[in-house]
């Protein structure tokens, strides 16, 4: 078939795949400050309760991908342009086939409903190489499975065996203004890209 990129709010999806041999690294950016005055108690002050995720991804693009990457980076230069980044780790495991036209994914219970914020997106990596993106507009713990309600219906069957993984999408921006490309050989540079989640700007 083809990619089915829905519910992205008009924002771009990052154009090339990371080099998964370089383990992506992600963490929460805990913005806190220790307040301490002589003769008083110490206090830890948080700047925000909507804590963003920060990630680094490694890339080894060929020449065509290198052009796409540079062009995309220049278009988002200044750390102002927002886009979607595919996180690599499996977040949900399907328990039942989701038929074409369905707006529900039944997945194994992983307590995602406790962290649901109302703006989550997922991407599905199909065996055909196609990518599907959908917004999750509700999560419900059904005791034997977790129900993910989708804003846009599926355009194909998602079976237990026709996809690799179901992961989250991160709404983010570049966290550096420099794109450093290290060449150990002529055609495949090593590039590390840092991104920061935009927790207040989800569409």
Q: What is the DSSP letter of 92?
A: B
- Encoding tokens for residue 1? 């078939």
Report whether 196 contacts 175 (CB < 8 A). yes
Reported as a pLDDT band with limits 50, 70 and 90, residue 31 is low
Instruction: Spell out the residues 6+ positions from residue 31 whose beta carbon is closer than 8 angstroms to its own.
Output: 46, 47, 48, 51
In whole angstroms, give the CA distance from residue 108 to residue 116: 15
Chain length of the chain: 203
Torsions phi, psi for 143 (to 5 deg) = 75, -50
Kindly report the three-state secondary structure assignment for every residue of 99-135.
CCCCCEEEECCCCHHHCCCCCCEEEEEECCCCEEEEE
Domain boundaries, the chain: 4-23+58-197
For the record, the structure tokens of 125 come out as 């990596």
pLDDT of residue 183: 86
Q: What is the predicted pLDDT for the residue at 50?
A: 77
The rounded distance, in Å, linking the Cα atoms of 62 and 2 is 23
**With 90 as the cut, is the pLDDT of residue 47 above it?**
no
Instruction: Assess contact for 143 and 189: CB atoms under 8 A.
Output: no
Question: What is the pLDDT confidence band of residue 38, given thresholds at 50, 70 and 90?
Answer: confident
State how far the Cα of 177 lies from the Cα of 41, in Å rounded to an integer. Answer: 40
| Mean pLDDT, rounded, of the chain | 89
Region 184-189 average pLDDT: 79
Spatial neighbors of 140 by CB under 8 A, at least 6 apart, are 113, 146, 147, 149
**pLDDT for position 19:** 84
pLDDT digits (tens, 9 = 90+) for 82-98: 999 999 889 999 999 99
Q: For 107-127, what is each residue's pLDDT tens digit?
A: 999 999 888 888 999 999 999
In the predicted structure, residue 28 carries a pLDDT above the cut 80? no
- Pairing mode of beta strands 131-141, 4-5: parallel
């Amino acid at each position: 078939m083809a990619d089915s990129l829905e519910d992205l709010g008009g924002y771009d999806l990052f154009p090339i795949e990371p080099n998964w041999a370089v383990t992506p690294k992600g963490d929460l950016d805990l913005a806190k400050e220790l307040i301490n005055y002589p003769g008083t108690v110490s206090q830890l002050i948080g700047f925000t309760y909507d804590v963003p995720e920060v990630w680094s991804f490694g890339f080894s693009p060929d020449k065509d991908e290198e052009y796409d990457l540079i062009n995309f980076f220049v278009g988002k230069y200044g750390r102002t342009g927002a886009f979607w980044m595919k996180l690599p780790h499996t977040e949900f495991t399907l328990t039942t086939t989701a038929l074409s036209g369905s707006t529900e994914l039944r997945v194994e219970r992983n307590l995602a409903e406790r962290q649901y914020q109302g703006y989550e997106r997922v991407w599905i990596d199909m065996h055909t190489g196609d990518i599907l993106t959908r917004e999750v507009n509700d999560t419900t713990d059904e005791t034997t499975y977790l129900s993910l309600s989708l804003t846009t219906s599926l355009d194909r069957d998602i079976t237990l065996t026709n996809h690799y993984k179901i992961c989250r999408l991160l709404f983010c921006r570049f966290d550096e203004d420099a794109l450093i490309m290290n060449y150990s050989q002529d055609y495949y540079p090593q590039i590390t890209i840092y991104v920061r989640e935009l927790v207040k700007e989800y569409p």
